Chain A
Amino acid sequence: ETGVTQSPTHLIKTRGQQVTLRCSSQSGHNTVSWYQQALGQGPQFIFQYYREEENGRGNFPPRFSGLQFPNYSSELNVNALELDDSALYLCASSRELGAQYFGPGTRLLVL
Chain B
Amino acid sequence: GENVEQHPSTLSVQEGDSAVIKCTYSDSASNYFPWYKQELGKGPQLIIDIRSNVGEKKDQRIAVTLNKTAKHFSLHITETQPEDSAVYFCAASTGGGADGLTFGKGTHLIIQP
- Which residues of A are at the interface with B, using a C-beta cutoff of 8 A? 4, 31, 33, 35, 40-48, 50, 55-56, 58-59, 90, 94, 97-105
Contact = CB atoms under 8 A, between A and B. Distances in A.
Contacts of A35: 100-101
Interface of B, helix, strand, loop or mixed by DSSP: loop
Nearest to B90: A42
A90 B103 contact: no
A4 B42 CA distance: 12
A50 B105 CA distance: 27
Q: Which 4 A-B pairs have the closest CB atoms?
A: A45-B100, A42-B103, A97-B97, A102-B43
Contact of B43 (A47, A48, A103): A103
Contact of A43 (B41, B49, B96, B103): B103
A38 B1 CA distance: 20
A48 B44 contact: no
B98 interface: yes
